[in-house]
Structure 1
Amino acid sequence: MPIIYHITTLPEWDQARENGAYEAISLKEEGFIHCAQENQVAGVLERYFSGKKDLVKLTIDTDKLTSNLVYDWSPSTQDTFPHIYGALNLDAVVTTERLN
């Protein structure tokens, strides 16, 4: 069971559960949902979520994804990150963790 992670806010996650699927703003703006591997989560939190509240970390089983998963190179961090090209089906989320 390969695992990746996604950080979102509690209100966005609550909305996804009501809708039956999760679609981050980046899916509409960039065509994919940003995710991270375990060793990348701390850096993602520091770069993009510093000072933000009501955060939730989604643990995603990539074997259960119904949308395409692609590992893309990020020139800004010189690393490869997992991206979900489509909506995140809720049954692929195996756990959620409140971060603050």
Structure 2
Amino acid sequence: MPKPSRILHITERSLWEAARERGAYEVSTRGRTLQQVGFIHFSTREQLPRVAAFLYGAYDGPDDLVVLVVDPALLDAPLRYEAVEPDGEEFPHLYGPLAVTAVVDVEPWR
């Protein structure tokens, strides 16, 4: 299966804005950091609606949600496609901070 030309990460706008100031994004998933988990969770365009529903289904936070669109060719940390369950669907995982320069677009989430 060919790897997508872009990978996606849904997050809160304030977390992304803070990362832009620091130059790197280090949130793995909602409420968990890269340091806690060991990698940053990403998804493909097709996986994103399910991931968003799972993480933010009844989101009532003070912040808008945004989707970071990342070009894997611009990453400076290892990217691996891994299944959460044995023989399950593979998701992209970034094993290091996400350089803000690898983010080629930021889309509003519905």
Query: Following TM superposition, by how much is the alpha carbon of 1:26 offset from its aligned partner in structure 2, in angstroms?
Result: 3.3
Runs (5+) with no aligned partner, structure 1: none
- Residues 1:31 and 2:34 aligned together: no
**Aligned residue pair count:** 100
Between Structure 1 and Structure 2, the one with more strand by share is: 1
CA RMSD of aligned residues (A): 1.8
User: What is the CA deviation profile of residues 18-67 of structure 1, one whole-angstrom value per residue up to 9, with x for unaligned ones?
Assistant: 11111113311110000001110000011111122511100000000001
Q: 1:41 aligns with which of 44, 48, 62?
A: 48
- The two structures have a TM-score, normalised by structure 1, of 0.92
Runs of 4+ in 1 over 3 A off after TM superposition: none
* 1:71-86 correspondence runs (5 A): 71-75=81-85, 78-86=88-96
Counterparts of 2:23 and 2:53 in 1: how far apart (Å)? 29
Counterparts of 1:86 and 1:98 in 2: how far apart (Å)? 24
1:6 corresponding residue in structure 2? 9
- The two structures have a TM-score, normalised by structure 2, of 0.84
Query: Following TM superposition, by how much is the alpha carbon of 1:86 offset from its aligned partner in structure 2, in angstroms?
Result: 0.3
The one-letter amino acid of 2:5's match is P
Runs (5+) with no aligned partner, structure 2: none
What's the % identity of the aligned pairs? 37
Between Structure 1 and Structure 2, the one with more helix by share is: 1
